[in-house]
Amino acid sequence: MGLIYNVFKELDTFSELGEMQKQLIITLDDLARSKATIFEQEIKESLLETTENRTIPINHITSKMTRIHTYTEESAKHILENVKESLRNFVTKGNEKVIDEVGNLMSGEVTRFLNESGVNSNVLKRYYVMTEGESIIRIDLRGWYSEINIKSLANKIEKISAFVAVKSAVNLQALDYNAFLSVYQYQLSKSDLNLTDIKEALDEARQIYARFR
């Protein structure tokens, strides 16, 4: 999985074929960015809705990130490092072990999503919770991909994808801690963290919650 502009480096834009490939990629990029814009709006709207936002309510959105990627069988091996690097840049003051394991969880879900057999196009919707400094945050993730069956782009782009992540500060005054604990504990249980690290992560979240109650 690579950023779409990296594909341009491989094109011979001085040739007729290269120019045609360039225009096709620009069109695909426009499509992916329109999907990303829709996802961003959907996330914002869902966070304002009581039913969607009930379990992990938020105070406000703090940041967002959009990634447009191309995908080939060869680039599949880079999904883990791409997702984890993006998450580290997105969550800057959290528990490093938790960030790493959530990155593993995300990358596993993204990999399964992109490799789902018999599906030409699909949408991924997930959210995650973790601590960041003195706050608890929620990360909403939306993803989309479409298979690309264009002869002139063979071996260059097999799929194009758009991923949007929105980070929000959790409303600790309105948060039902048991509901949060259920989500966070389940998330941690899916990781490779040992029991000591899980207990440390839960204690850290509990202390943050207690300071705001």
Answer whether 137's CB lies under 8 Å from 131's CB: yes
Nearest Cα to Cα of residue 165 among 96, 54, 85: 85
Q: What is the pTM of this model?
A: 0.87
Is the pLDDT at 14 greater than 70? The verdict is no
Interatomic CA distance for residues 211 and 196, integer angstroms: 23
pLDDT interval class at 49 (50, 70, 90): low
Average pLDDT over residues 33-62: 84
pLDDT score for 120: 83
Is the pLDDT at 10 greater than 70? The verdict is no
| Higher-scoring residue by pLDDT: 189, 82 | 189
Question: In the 3-class helix/strand/coil scheme, how is the chain assigned residue by residue?
Answer: CEECHHHHCCCCCCCHHHHHHHHHHHHHHHHHHHHHHHHHHHHHHHHHCHHHHCCCCEEEEEEEEEEEEEECCHHHHHHHHHHHHHHHHHCCCCCHHHHHHHHHHHHHHHHHHHCCCCCCEEEEEEEEEEEECCEEEEEEEEEEEEECCCHHHCCCCCEEEEEEEEEEEECCCCCCHHHHHHHHHHHHHCCCCCHHHHHHHHHHHHHHHHHCC
Chain segment 104-141, per-residue pLDDT in tens: 999 889 988 988 877 788 999 999 999 999 999 999 99
Chain segment 140-186, per-residue pLDDT in tens: 999 999 988 887 776 778 888 999 999 999 999 888 889 899 999 99
Is the pLDDT at 201 greater than 60? The verdict is yes
Is the pLDDT at 1 greater than 50? The verdict is no
Average pLDDT over residues 65-81: 77
pLDDT score for 4: 60
Is the pLDDT at 33 greater than 80? The verdict is yes
pLDDT score for 11: 63
